[in-house]
């Protein structure tokens, strides 16, 4: 399959890098959009698709039209939604693969990018008695909007849809395209209904029965002729058999209308009750889904990362430090021993916080001790009732000495495989690299490793280097969750200024001596007298279940040291970063 797909015009190496240099759209390939509008094959889309549309259809149509930001969809979601915008997007040429053979790229252009079609005057003699065929002028050439879809098939599978050219926009709205061209879904629905033996006019009436759903599907300009055109070939063979839907009748001057009474409704609804589970717009909750009620969220608002998509001037992402501790400031009963301290409400809060951050970061000790899934299981995020990977943070594991032995059984990879999390990034210190087999595994699951070259005398990695490397990878906010070494290191006087917000859950328990404590080194004034290590501002204490949550901010947060160039090797995990 990979071979067959790789026959695209583009060199494999420049897939995804050379977007402005697209081949000229000479031979649009419309197979995905319009083929089968009029055929005698039974279509796969039926009235059920119209009456039980995929969730947020109107919103997704708009998003897939504008492509303002990157859109990520799981494979089945893409296949469900894309036919609803195939009136907009015309595929330019067949897919190209990257060198792994697992990523397939397709380029699409807006329908209005095609040159305007002006019919030539007909001067050839027509056959006797044949009427002149009127050809319409097709407008075009007015819109430069293009996108590409990248389908990845590996340890995780999914589509990434991005705009080609940052500044490009449509020169028109979605309704304008809906007016010019119908989606394949609508045409298939129309044809499938006629092929049940119904008159096009009756099908048109029935399709208009639930107007909001027809509009959400892009059918605001659907007309009787569309239904006729969709089924013309089939009707030529079955002209005598067509009938009106049960419960509907022909009304002179009004076309097909519904009878009084419930016959028609019950018949259509009867069909609809056989709902394909994949089309159900309120799927059952996935096991393990967490619910964090809206009223509980309010107090966290001021401490969440800003909505603005920009990293601040210093190039440091918003850093939220969060952990759960006992009353004697312990994280765990003993090093390496996973200890549940806080209650279920706090757990739900943690997952809510995760959904608000681009990345979550832990140390390798925690990765080894807890084997965490490092995903977000909040109701409504991708994999838990939401679309794609919406709200799923990127797991980041700080593993300076390459100790983490990732395997396909690691929970974090299991989550990826099930479409419930993202591939992890692993940060390593200078002089260390990942075992090539493990690196392949990581990449297969959509992860990578970031080899830093910055060195610190006291510790092997500098926070500024880590945070800037993450920012360079597009991470605007990171939630730092543990464990003890990471938390204590970040709270050291020289690092604490990187913290933007802190959310600490204190549970009503003493873990006792011998635990893993949180206690950064004290600061000292010029005379050598000890000073408090850290004191938070804008503090709020919020009871949550049996726990209490402390939220705070740090004065001078992100007032990082003079920003210098940060060297990051092997950002794409190319494996070229070898130990000295
Ligand atoms: Zn356009």
Q: Residue 455: which pLDDT band, with cuts at 50, 70 and 90?
A: low
Q: pTM for the full model?
A: 0.78
Gap from CA of 230 to ligand 1 centroid (Å): 24
Q: Residue 266: which pLDDT band, with cuts at 50, 70 and 90?
A: very low
Q: Residue 24: which pLDDT band, with cuts at 50, 70 and 90?
A: very low
Q: Please give the pLDDT value at position 491.
A: 93
Gap from CA of 60 to ligand 1 centroid (Å): 16
End-to-end Cα, the chain, rounded Å: 40
CB 74 within 8 A of CB 220: no
HSE, CB side, 13 Å, CA atoms: give it for residue 236: 7
Q: Residue 288: which pLDDT band, with cuts at 50, 70 and 90?
A: confident
Sequence-distant (6+) residues with CB within 8 A of 286 are 377, 383, 384, 385, 420
- Give the 3-state secondary structure of residue 325: strand
pLDDT at 560 over 50: no
Task: Please identify every residue whose CB atom is under 5 Å from ligand 1, which is an ion.
Answer: 110, 112, 143, 145, 170
CB 360 within 8 A of CB 478: yes
For helices 184-194 and 200-207, the axis angle rounded to 10 degrees is 130
> Which of 430, 429, 452, 451 is closest to 442 using CA atoms?
451
CA distance linking residue 141 with residue 24, whole number of Å: 13
Q: Please give the pLDDT value at position 565.
A: 36
Gap from CA of 159 to ligand 1 centroid (Å): 21
Distances from the Cα of 303 to the Cα of 259, 500, 544, angstroms = 59, 8, 16
Paired tokens of 519: 């206690």
CA distance linking residue 24 with residue 522, whole number of Å: 64
HSE, CB side, 13 Å, CA atoms: give it for residue 493: 9
Q: Residue 125: which pLDDT band, with cuts at 50, 70 and 90?
A: low
Q: Please give the pLDDT value at position 130.
A: 57
Q: Please give the pLDDT value at position 375.
A: 97
CB 231 within 8 A of CB 36: no
pLDDT digits (tens, 9 = 90+) for 320-377: 999 999 999 999 999 888 888 999 999 999 999 999 999 999 999 999 999 999 999 9
Q: Please give the pLDDT value at position 5.
A: 39
Which segments of 298-418 does DSSP mark as H helices, in order?
Answer: 344-355, 364-370, 411-417
Bridge partners (DSSP) listed for residue 450: 427
Q: Please give the pLDDT value at position 128.
A: 57
Q: Does residue 324 have a cis bond before it (omega within 30 degrees)?
A: no
pLDDT at 193 over 60: yes
Q: List the domains of the chain with CATH numbers.
A: 17-274 (no CATH), 310-512+538-556 (3.40.430.10)
Gap from CA of 142 to ligand 1 centroid (Å): 7
> Which of 149, 205, 216, 148 is closest to 178 using CA atoms?
216
Q: Please give the pLDDT value at position 252.
A: 77
Gap from CA of 391 to ligand 1 centroid (Å): 29
Gap from CA of 50 to ligand 1 centroid (Å): 25
b/e per residue 275-294 (b: at least 16 CB within 10 A): eeeeeeeeeeeeeebbebee
Gap from CA of 165 to ligand 1 centroid (Å): 13
Residue with the larger pLDDT of the pair 286 and 182: 182
pLDDT digits (tens, 9 = 90+) for 149-177: 999 999 989 999 999 987 789 999 999 99
């Amino acid at each position: 399959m990979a071979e067959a797909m790789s026959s695209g015009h583009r060199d494999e190496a420049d897939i995804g890098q050379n977007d402005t240099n697209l081949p000229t759209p000479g031979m649009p390939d419309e197979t995905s959009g319009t083929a089968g509008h009029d055929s005698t094959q039974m279509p796969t889309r039926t009235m059920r698709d119209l009456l039980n549309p995929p969730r947020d259809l109107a919103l997704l149509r708009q998003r897939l039209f504008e492509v303002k930001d990157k859109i990520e969809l799981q494979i089945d979601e893409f296949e469900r939604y894309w036919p609803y915008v195939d009136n907009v997007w015309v595929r330019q040429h067949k897919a190209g693969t990257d060198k792994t053979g697992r990523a397939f790229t397709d380029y699409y252009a807006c329908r209005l990018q095609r040159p305007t079609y002006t019919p030539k005057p007909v001067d050839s003699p027509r056959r006797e008695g044949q009427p002149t065929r009127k050809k319409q002028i097709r407008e075009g050439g007015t819109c430069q909007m293009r996108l590409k879809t990248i389908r990845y098939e590996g340890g995780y599978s999914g589509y990434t849809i991005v705009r080609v050219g940052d500044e490009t926009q449509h020169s028109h709205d979605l309704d304008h395209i809906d007016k010019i061209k119908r989606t394949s879904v609508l045409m298939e629905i129309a044809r499938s209904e006629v092929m049940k033996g119904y008159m096009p006019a009756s099908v048109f009436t029935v399709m208009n029965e639930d107007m909001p759903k027809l509009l959400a599907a892009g059918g605001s300009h659907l007309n009787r002729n569309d239904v006729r055109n969709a089924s013309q070939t089939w009707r030529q063979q079955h002209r005598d058999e067509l009938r009106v839907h049960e419960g509907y009748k022909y009304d002179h001057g009004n076309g097909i209308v519904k009878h009084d009474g419930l016959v028609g409704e019950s018949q259509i609804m009867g069909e609809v009750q056989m709902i394909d589970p994949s089309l159900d717009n309120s799927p059952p909750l996935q096991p393990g889904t967490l619910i964090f009620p809206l009223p509980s969220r309010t107090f966290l608002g001021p401490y969440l990362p800003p909505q603005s998509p920009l990293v601040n001037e210093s190039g440091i992402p918003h850093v939220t430090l969060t952990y759960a501790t006992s009353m004697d400031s312990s994280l765990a009963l003993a090093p390496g021993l996973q200890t549940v301290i806080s209650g279920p409400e706090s757990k739900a809060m943690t997952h809510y916080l995760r959904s608000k951050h681009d990345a979550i970061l832990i140390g390798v000790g925690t990765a080894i001790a807890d084997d965490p899934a490092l995903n977000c299981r909040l109701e409504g995020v991708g994999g838990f009732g939401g679309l794609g990977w919406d709200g799923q943070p990127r797991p980041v594991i700080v593993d300076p000495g390459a100790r983490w032995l990732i395997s396909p059984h690691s929970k974090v990879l299991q989550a990826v495989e099930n479409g419930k999390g993202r591939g992890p990034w692993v940060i390593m210190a200078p002089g260390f690299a990942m075992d090539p087999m493990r690196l392949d595994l990581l990449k297969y699951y959509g992860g990578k490793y970031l080899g830093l070259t910055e060195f610190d005398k006291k510790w092997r990695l500098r926070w500024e280097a880590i945070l800037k490397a993450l920012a360079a990878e597009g991470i605007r906010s990171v939630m730092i969750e543990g464990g003890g070494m990471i938390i204590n290191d970040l709270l050291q006087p020289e690092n604490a200024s990187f913290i933007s917000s802190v959310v600490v859950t204190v549970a009503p328990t003493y873990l006792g001596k011998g635990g893993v404590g949180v206690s950064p080194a004290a600061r000292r004034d010029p005379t050598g007298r000890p000073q408090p290590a850290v004191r938070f501002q804008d503090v709020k204490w919020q009871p949550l279940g049996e726990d209490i949550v402390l939220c705070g901010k740090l004065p001078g947060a992100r007032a990082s040291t003079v920003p210098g160039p940060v060297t990051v090797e092997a950002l794409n995990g190319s494996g070229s970063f070898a130990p000295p």
